[in-house]
Structure 1
Amino acid sequence: MTHVRRFLPLLGCLLLGCVLLALFAPGGLLRRDDGPPSRVEGRPKGWSPYELSGYIEDAQEHLRHHPDDAATWASLGGVYLEQARRSADVTYYGKAQGAFECSLRLPADDGGPNIDAVIGMGALANARHDFTGGLRWAEQARKAAPYRWALYGVLTDAYLELGDYEQAQSALRRMLQGRPDLASFTRAARLEHLHGRTGPARTALERAREIAGDPAEYAFVLWQLGELAWSGGDPRAALGFYEQALAADRTHAPSLAGRARAEAALGRTGQALRGYAAAVARSPSFVVEYGELLEHLGDRAGARRQYTVFSGQLKLLAANGINDDLAVGRFEADHGDPDTAVRHLRAEWARRQSVEVADALAWALHRAGHETEAAGYAARAARLGGRDALFAYHRGEIERALGHAGAARAYLAQALSINPHFSPHGAARARAALARLESDAT
């Protein structure tokens, strides 16, 4: 099952949306009303604030001569975060932290701390999956400057991942009231989708598409529209959105992987495999998804190679301050040791009680043979009312293991009705299990 892919919408929010919020902040690099910071001089004619390498070079040169420029240090930190997202190079996190810390050591124009750097540190903490830290930095920013709308995006993301959905809704409402922009609309879409409100989620993304200001933003929004169509079981519509995203930004790795996933669902296996190869060449985030398709097609050696890359990536993330027990637990539950999965996911649940962690822990407990406890977490995963095929499949298998044939049939059928292509192995197993249950009932 494609568990690891489930954290990509989060990465989309944290490594694009959260970063965009820091960058759109007053004094940040990407403010629509001001453009890039005017203090960084010497740009070539036609330079764009979205050409990150160009900005980094200019900012570094500027700071060599003006090392006391707190605003440019904060903007540089935000661009390093965005560079991490675009390149999947997590070493940029350390560079971002260094830039933000330089900014915080300097007084802002008003003599106080540089709020953009405080917000940036919150975005960085969230990107590293330190959501409690993200919340702490955002609250510090709110006390000092409650009308810096960017901080409410950091709050929204932190609360979402900590499982405090009422607080997330409150922070997002404040953000939308103060600055309805791409970053706020994409967050609104995610929250609506978590509650199972597909129509409002699509409306929010369409609003975001209308105001996307550059190919990278446009590709991001179209990818999210594709993910929404995919989760609703429409691979053709999803494919259309992914292709539009790639027309805007041909290097957009999430859309490369999404297109490959949709092509696999439509039976275009060769194109799907080539697409996944292109996606993982851009970003290692998709190696497990690629490996699962290879395994489903009988190429176990190829799948193992992808899983080995994933294990190596986890070590690299840990070396850069990211310990992702959720990703490890999901992987171990399906491709490793279920008891190890349970251990990691209990640790994650102790830190944050989101529906994603509840589902992952339920599945790991099921795989480890603890069905009654698994059922409790599966019920918690469904508490927001979202329509998630993978959650429904997991709950169906847990009910089947408990001997609850009627409930198992209902949840397995629900999973396939939501999205009959939700994962190569999972969908096939759901169909087989449902057939057996229906046969036993006759």
Structure 2
Amino acid sequence: MTIRATKNRALIAVLAWVLVALPLVGGAADTSLAFLEARARQDPLDFTAHNRLSALYIKYLRETGDLAYLQRAEQAARASLAAVPAPPNVGGLAALAVSEFENHHFSEALVLAEQAYRTDPRQLGALATIGDAHLELGHYPDAERSYTQLAVQQGADAPPVLARQARLAELHGDTAQAVALLKRAGNDVWFKVRLGELSFHSGDWLQAGQFYQAALKQQPDSFVAVEHLAELAAAQGHYDEAIALYQKVLKQTPRAEFFQALGDVYAFMGKADLAKPWHAKALAAYLQSVAAGNAHYLHHLAGFYSDSQENPAEAVRWAQQDLAIRQSIYAYDTLAWALYKHGDFVQARDMMAKALALKTRDAHLFYHAGLIYSRVGELAQGRQFLQQTVAINPSYNAFHAHR
């Protein structure tokens, strides 16, 4: 291959990454999808079409919540690599890395993304995935280094960079910095929802509602905005509104976690008979996903069996599987809470200590820690954690969805 051809291929790869990062809505999105699907059918060896198709499926996944797009994204990425294997097809590696990440196969995603980035350091999507995978695996210093490098190459004010730095700030307990970074990131619907989520978790329901409504005004069909509004309505005690909003979400995006959330609303209202069928639907969908080889819902299953349909042994089993694929502070928290429900208080305390390692200001973490430390006899420490829970979110005991 000539030097000029190599440069052209590199330029095409960079342009393709930029293009798929641009928002596609309405007819433009439909037209692009139809064109790429037709192109891939007509020429199965067109690896560029497969790569762009995989990226577009991921975009649809995030916008619609339809997990069927995740399977299609993975299939397109594998078809790309079958047509032209790596290393020439570095875009195929990067596309498969994103699909594996979204499937919660974080170690596999990291290996693929690192291979893509080593082959072509201009693969910014691969660099972002490296950082994201490190974050989920609990490799926080490595994630920070990856995001710093991403800022150098993409620009410190690029929205994807600011969003990732905001998440790091949040994990390290600097919520104010996280809010500031997200506000700098721009007016994307997802940023508004994240700002609302941070407000909700601090007990500022008025501001949370304003952010969610702003997101919904910008994108009326945003299932993410609607389901967060449903959670807020339930926390405020507006149960009929919450139920209507969750039913709206389920008509658009019938995902397992939303079945559980609706069941949880009924349970919170004391209507166990109405909660039962929704919880049954959630459990069936969770187990079906796991049986298909997906790791997406291991965390949800652990939480489901800890709180919605208590079965401590099952909660521990699924939490251990979740921890096997990601060693994040939230995976440790999930296992700690399951162990607490199972009566293994000392082990729960040991796992909880790991969950608190970053000093994250999260009322969920502190509430769990308060009960766990109190149960092992460390009463002063437990009392301090419970006081911090209320300080962070005075409305913590209100309804909240399992995420």
Normalising by structure 2, report the TM-score. 0.88
Confirm or deny: 8 A CA contact 1:152 1:175 kept in the other structure: yes
Q: Tell me, what secondary structure is at the counterpart of 2:108?
A: helix
After TM superposition, give the deviation of residue 168 of structure 1 in Å: 0.5
After superposition, residues 370-381 of structure 1 pair within 5 angstroms as 370-381=344-355
1:129 and 2:99 correspond? no
1:254 and 2:224 correspond? yes
> 1:184 maps to which residue?
161
> 1:30 maps to which residue?
19
After TM superposition, give the deviation of residue 137 of structure 1 in Å: 0.5
1:168 and 2:143 correspond? yes
* 317-326 vs 245-254, which moves further: 317-326
Q: Tell me, what secondary structure is at the counterpart of 2:270?
A: coil
Confirm or deny: 8 A CA contact 1:138 1:155 kept in the other structure: yes
In structure 1, stretches of 5+ residues that fail to align are: 1-23, 37-46, 211-217, 428-442
After superposition, residues 33-112 of structure 1 pair within 5 angstroms as 51-107=28-84, 112=87
After TM superposition, give the deviation of residue 424 of structure 1 in Å: 3.4
> 2:3 maps to which residue?
none
Residues 373-419 of structure 1 show CA distances to partners (whole Å, capped at 9, x for unaligned) of: 11111111111011000111111111232233332222122112211
After superposition, residues 203-214 of structure 1 pair within 5 angstroms as 203-209=180-186
Change in Cα spacing, 1:318 to 1:348, as seen in structure 2 (3 Å) is: closer
After TM superposition, give the deviation of residue 88 of structure 1 in Å: 2.9
After TM superposition, give the deviation of residue 320 of structure 1 in Å: 4.5
Confirm or deny: 8 A CA contact 1:239 1:263 kept in the other structure: no
Change in Cα spacing, 1:290 to 1:416, as seen in structure 2 (3 Å) is: farther
Residues 297-356 of structure 1 show CA distances to partners (whole Å, capped at 9, x for unaligned) of: 111122222211211221342354313322211211122311111122223323332100
CA distance in 2, matches of 1:413, 1:92: 43
Change in Cα spacing, 1:377 to 1:144, as seen in structure 2 (3 Å) is: same
Confirm or deny: 8 A CA contact 1:293 1:424 kept in the other structure: no
Confirm or deny: 8 A CA contact 1:358 1:377 kept in the other structure: yes
Confirm or deny: 8 A CA contact 1:106 1:113 kept in the other structure: no
> 1:297 maps to which residue?
269
1:242 and 2:212 correspond? yes
CA distance in 2, matches of 1:426, 1:367: 19
CA distance in 1, matches of 2:30, 2:290: 26
1:220 and 2:190 correspond? yes
CA distance in 1, matches of 2:203, 2:60: 32
Q: Tell me, what secondary structure is at the counterpart of 2:122?
A: coil
Residues 70-114 of structure 1 show CA distances to partners (whole Å, capped at 9, x for unaligned) of: 211100011122223333332323322221122223349xx9522
Change in Cα spacing, 1:292 to 1:64, as seen in structure 2 (3 Å) is: closer
Give runs of ≥4 in structure 1 deviating > 6 Å. Answer: none
After TM superposition, give the deviation of residue 49 of structure 1 in Å: 8.5
> 2:172 maps to which residue?
195
After superposition, residues 259-338 of structure 1 pair within 5 angstroms as 259-283=229-253, 284=255, 285-323=257-295, 324-334=297-307, 335-338=309-312
Q: Tell me, what secondary structure is at the counterpart of 2:313?
A: helix
Give the aligned residue type for 2:76.
Answer: A
1:404 and 2:374 correspond? no
In structure 2, stretches of 5+ residues that fail to align are: 1-12
CA distance in 2, matches of 1:359, 1:90: 26
Q: Tell me, what secondary structure is at the counterpart of 1:30?
A: helix
Change in Cα spacing, 1:54 to 1:305, as seen in structure 2 (3 Å) is: farther
User: Which gives a bigger RCO, structure 1 or 2 (Cα 8 Å, sep 6+)?
Assistant: 1
After TM superposition, give the deviation of residue 291 of structure 1 in Å: 2.0
Aligned match for 1:117, one of 84, 89, 92: 92
Confirm or deny: 8 A CA contact 1:30 1:49 kept in the other structure: no
Aligned match for 2:361, one of 371, 377, 387: 387
Normalising by structure 1, report the TM-score. 0.80
Change in Cα spacing, 1:259 to 1:191, as seen in structure 2 (3 Å) is: same
After TM superposition, give the deviation of residue 224 of structure 1 in Å: 0.8
Residues 114-158 of structure 1 show CA distances to partners (whole Å, capped at 9, x for unaligned) of: 222211111101111100000010111111011221111111111
After TM superposition, give the deviation of residue 425 of structure 1 in Å: 6.2
Change in Cα spacing, 1:302 to 1:424, as seen in structure 2 (3 Å) is: farther
Change in Cα spacing, 1:25 to 1:161, as seen in structure 2 (3 Å) is: farther
Confirm or deny: 8 A CA contact 2:231 2:399 kept in the other structure: no
Q: Tell me, what secondary structure is at the counterpart of 1:421?
A: coil
> 2:116 maps to which residue?
141
Q: Tell me, what secondary structure is at the counterpart of 2:15?
A: coil
Aligned match for 2:333, one of 344, 347, 359: 359
Residues 235-255 of structure 1 show CA distances to partners (whole Å, capped at 9, x for unaligned) of: 110110000000011121221
Confirm or deny: 8 A CA contact 1:163 1:354 kept in the other structure: yes
Aligned residues, how many? 384
CA distance in 1, matches of 2:26, 2:94: 20
Q: Tell me, what secondary structure is at the counterpart of 1:415?
A: helix
After superposition, residues 424-435 of structure 1 pair within 5 angstroms as 424=398
